[in-house]
Amino acid sequence: MDKVEYLETTVPNAYHGTSRANAENIEKTGFRISRKPELFLGDGVYFYKGSKRLAESWAKGKYPEEEIATIVANIKLGYCLDLTIPEHRELLSEAIVEFKRRPNWRKVTDTFVLNYFAGVIEPQIDTIVHFREPEKIVKLFAGSQILTGGYMVICVRKTECILSFSIAS
Amino acid sequence: MDLDIKGLKKKIKDHFGSISDEELAQNAIRAGIATYTDLKLNFLEEGPQKAYQARPIIEAGNEANSGRLRILTGPVRQYYTSAVFGLEEISGGPAGNRSLGGVAVVGVIRNNYQGGGGVIQPSCPIDPGGANSSSSTENSLLRELCL
């Protein structure tokens, strides 16, 4: 069999929700990497793949008193830790096992493990992709294998992977 | 480029196989991730005694911060949740925002932390009772946790 050529993957419809003021600022100065403990995939700029509505909904929760806006971006996934792929998840599992062997490091969180993995062990990681399951699993209909909820989140660790963006209309 | 799963699994094993807790903490601090709640969870939930046991980690962080620990209070704990290794109630107190949270957090903060909103207490060298210490309560906390 011929060797399969690796093609660069881009996501042309990734949405980032924020306040209108922030969005206008981002449009002028570009994105900055967020570093907060509540970012479950670690440091980065977060996008919803394909869903403007989810980005708006998140922004409304975050900025209840402000006008909100969404930014649509074209993202190059690059060197991507894709947590929808079992082999990629196994890498994190292995790192977690190693932490848990150490008495002082047993209570690590997603944020810490991902930041350690993508910041120390393999700092070349450009992006992290994750399918976030809904809190309550509901199938499309009885017997269906398709979930009614859940969404894809992209955490961009390197802003050069955001190839282009604009405030969505 | 796709991830080299086999190579990365080996890299993980090699990384953890040859690293001490102190080096691991230093790595985390250098990478700017040791300021997060994650580390706090390791040491804080079990109280100051556990934090004391984490002394090597504190020292590792301390080294990365030019020999200084800092006292952080309520709002900082919420938003920056620094690499926190000790937690104790401090009631009242004259200084700034200590009264906001009523909780003092002794921890190592990232080197490039810019501060903000005046919520950070002055740098406090490990010098309980010394001229540079910012209060006697903080001094006793430092003594308990770090010395």
B12·A95 Cβ contact <8 A: yes
ipTM: 0.86
Looking at residues B90-116, what average pLDDT do you find? Answer: 29
Closest Cα partner for A60 from A102, A109, A17, A24?
Answer: A17
Hey, is the C-beta of B83 within 8 angstroms of any chain A C-beta? no
Kindly give, in sequence order, each residue whose CB lies less than 8 Å from that of residue A65, ignoring residues fewer than 6 positions away.
none
Whether the predicted pLDDT of A25 surpasses 70 = yes
CA distance B146 to B140: 10
Cβ atoms of B146 and B108 closer than 8 Å: no
CA distance B40 to B27: 16
Contacts of B37 in chain A (CB under 8 A): 37, 109, 111
Whether the predicted pLDDT of A64 surpasses 90 = yes
Length of chain B counted residue by residue? 147
The predicted pLDDT at position A106 comes to 67
Contacts of B45 in chain A (CB under 8 A): 107
Hey, is the C-beta of A37 within 8 angstroms of any chain B C-beta? yes
Looking at residues B11-40, what average pLDDT do you find? Answer: 69
CA distance A48 to A3: 32
Q: Which one has a higher pLDDT value, B30 or A111?
A: A111
Q: How confident is the model at residue A104 (pLDDT cuts 50, 70, 90)?
A: low
Residue in B24, B30, B32 closest to A105 by CB: B24
Q: Domain count for chain A, please give it.
A: 1
Chain centroid to Cα B25, Å, comes to 10
Hey, is the C-beta of B9 within 8 angstroms of any chain A C-beta? yes
The predicted pLDDT at position B22 comes to 63
Q: Domain count for chain B, please give it.
A: 1
* Three-state DSSP state, A10: strand
> Residue B43 is part of which domain span?
5-146
Does residue A47 lie within any of the structural domains?
yes
Q: Which residues, in sequence order, are bridge partners of residue A165?
A: A73
Whether the predicted pLDDT of A39 surpasses 80 = yes
Does residue A37 lie within any of the structural domains?
yes
Q: What is the C-alpha R_g of chain A?
A: 17
> Residue A44 is part of which domain span?
10-167
Hey, is the C-beta of B19 within 8 angstroms of any chain A C-beta? no
The predicted pLDDT at position B29 comes to 62
Which residue on chain B is closest to A9 by alpha carbon?
B1
Hey, is the C-beta of A90 within 8 angstroms of any chain B C-beta? yes
* Three-state DSSP state, A109: coil
Does residue A3 lie within any of the structural domains?
no
Kindly give, in sequence order, each residue whose CB lies less than 8 Å from that of residue A20, ignoring residues fewer than 6 positions away.
A66, A67, A68, A69
Residue in B5, B13, B33 closest to A112 by CB: B33
Question: Which pair of tokens denotes residue A163?
Answer: 């190839």
How many contacts, defined by CB atoms under 8 Å, are there between A and B?
Answer: 95
pLDDT tens digits for range B42-91: 443 334 444 434 444 444 433 333 333 333 333 333 222 233 333 332 22
